[in-house]
Amino acid sequence: MGFLDRLFGGRFTMPPPDETNASHAAIMREMRSPESVAQKQALKVFTETLLARVPEAESARLVRRVLRKYAVNQAPASALTEGLLDTSRGQKLADLALLGVDWRGFDVFEYQAPYLVAASGVQTPYHYEHTGTRPMLEVLVSFDQWLTGFDKRYLHLDSGDDDYVGFIVDADRVEYTLELARQAGLSVSIGTDHE
């Protein structure tokens, strides 16, 4: 910029912007549209529904965490996944409500799926053994089929990444959960609808 200043007599320099006392979060709130207030409320209701079996204090902490992530201008899906799946501050293994595995995450699935099943209220333990012959999507489809025997379903959440993120709901609450997700701006599908 110094070269242009000398060449054109300083015409291309601008004064520094006026300083503001508003925080980054306050500025981002002002930039949000009125629809995002309704979307934030829907995301809160969806997260509370997802964490219904988690102890109340832990559930409230995780809901606040997701809403904080959403407040700093994150998409609803990334706010939910980063808020809950963070290994250090996210959900606890004993209260697992959201499962996230990548396309090669068979060992993570083998370890965390029994916790997810137990946290959803199914008394029968789930046992998975990796054979190396099926892709992760087929493993998740067979997991969903196993859950139907207990009147549960495994729903996929499109997080915008290559990861497979999902959660377990009661079979009679699938439509309600899909509608809540739609209102919150989340893309949730059931069974083999995941791409």
Write the pLDDT tens digit of every residue in 47-78.
Answer: 999 999 999 999 999 999 999 999 886 789 99
Reduced to 3 states (helix: H, G, I; strand: E, B; else coil), residue 31 is helix
Write down the H helix ranges in 1-105.
2-8, 24-31, 34-50, 56-71, 76-85
CB under 8 A, 24+ apart: contacts of 139-147? 139/106, 139/109, 140/164, 140/166, 140/194, 141/191, 141/192, 143/113, 144/190, 144/191, 147/117, 147/122
Q: In the predicted model, what is the mean pLDDT of residues 11-29?
A: 69
pTM above 0.85, yes or no: no
* Intra-chain end-to-end CA distance of the chain, in Å: 48
192 pLDDT higher than 90: no
Helix or strand run (H / E) with residue 109? helix 106-119
State residue 193's pLDDT score.
Answer: 57
DSSP state of 1: -
Distances (CA, A) of 64 to 22, 94, 95, 97, 137: 21, 19, 17, 16, 31
Nearest CA among 103, 88, 87 for reference residue 159: 103
